């Protein structure tokens, strides 16, 4: 029905829609040209929108001191965005570092784990797994990575590596863990946590002797320079 109305209007007027607009539109070249020149000038002067930063720095304030971490927003966008969502919503505040997993032959290397400690009320939805084979990151000394069960179950628990931990990287037959940043300062504090006394038992056979007796409190986690 709208097509029939448009056709009838064209026949009665004897001009096309475009022709009607041209006849009715006033000539304002004296105003239009300066406006176009001003628009072009603004496009040249105004800076282009800044690209998102490749690294995002966060400060983890603990009961034994601060830890500064750079997150790989460009190389591990999903994992970094998840961590920053916990930061923005203050879900890490008041949580703890609760696990010190020491290497059996060399107790000075291993990993320290913290976060929401699997508390459902503090958790967000699980995220997709970003393996090191995809991001190009590696588990070296001072890497921050996501704790999880099966791939795709990571939420709000993370760990720091002390020493190189290549066994945590993705490899044929193993998806590995999702590294997404590195420690800028605070490694002495992380090594101190690794050496803290732990209970002899554990939640599972994989965590026996790894639960810190006096956990370190995460007071706040905030972005730096925002």
Residues 128 and 184 in one domain: yes
How many beta carbons lie within 10 A of that of residue 44, not counting itself? 7
Dihedrals phi, psi of 11, to nearest 5 degrees: -65, -40
Residues 13 and 83 in one domain: no
User: What pLDDT digit, counting tens, does each position of 90-112 carry?
Assistant: 999 999 999 999 999 999 999 99
Residues 126 and 24 in one domain: no
Residues 35 and 126 in one domain: no
Backbone φ/ψ region at 18: left (φ over 0), alpha (ψ -120 to 50), beta? alpha
The pLDDT value given to residue 202: 84
The answer to whether residue 179 scores a pLDDT higher than 90 is: yes
* b (16+ CB within 10 A) / e for 141-176: bbbbbbbbeebeebbbbbbbbbbebeebbbeeeebb
50: in domain: no
Least Cα distance to 79 among 140, 124, 142, 141 occurs for 124
Average pLDDT value for residue range 52-59: 92
The pLDDT value given to residue 18: 33
Virtual torsion, Cα 120, 121, 127, 131, nearest 10 deg: -60
Q: Which range among 17-26, 48-57, 74-83 has the greatest average pLDDT? A: 74-83
Residues 24 and 89 in one domain: no
Q: How many domains does the chain have?
A: 2
Residues 59 and 33 in one domain: no
Residues 114 and 41 in one domain: no
Residues 30 and 63 in one domain: no
- Domain of 21 in residue numbering reads as 2-45
Supply the pTM of this predicted model. 0.77
């Amino acid at each position: 029905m709208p097509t029939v109305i448009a056709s009838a209007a064209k026949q009665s007027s004897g001009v096309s829609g475009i022709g009607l607009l041209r006849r009715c539109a006033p000539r304002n070249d004296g105003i239009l040209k300066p406006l176009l020149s001003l628009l072009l000038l603004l496009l040249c002067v105004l800076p282009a929108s800044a690209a998102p930063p490749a690294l995002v720095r966060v400060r983890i304030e603990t009961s034994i001191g601060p830890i500064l971490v750079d997150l790989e927003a460009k190389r591990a966008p999903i994992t970094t965005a998840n961590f920053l969502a916990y930061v923005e919503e203050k879900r890490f505040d008041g949580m703890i570092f609760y696990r010190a997993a020491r290497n059996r032959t060399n107790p000075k290397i291993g990993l320290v784990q913290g976060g929401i400690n699997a508390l459902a009320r503090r958790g967000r939805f699980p995220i997709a797994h970003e393996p090191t084979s995809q991001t190009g990151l590696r588990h070296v000394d001072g890497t921050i990575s996501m704790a999880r069960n099966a791939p795709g179950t990571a939420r709000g628990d993370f760990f720091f590596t002390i020493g190189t931990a290549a066994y945590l990287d993705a490899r044929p037959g193993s998806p590995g863990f999702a590294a997404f940043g590195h420690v800028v300062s605070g490694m002495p504090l992380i090594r101190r946590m690794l050496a803290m006394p732990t209970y002899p038992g554990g939640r599972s056979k994989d965590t026996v002797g790894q639960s810190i007796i006096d956990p370190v409190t995460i007071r706040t986690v905030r972005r730096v320079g925002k």
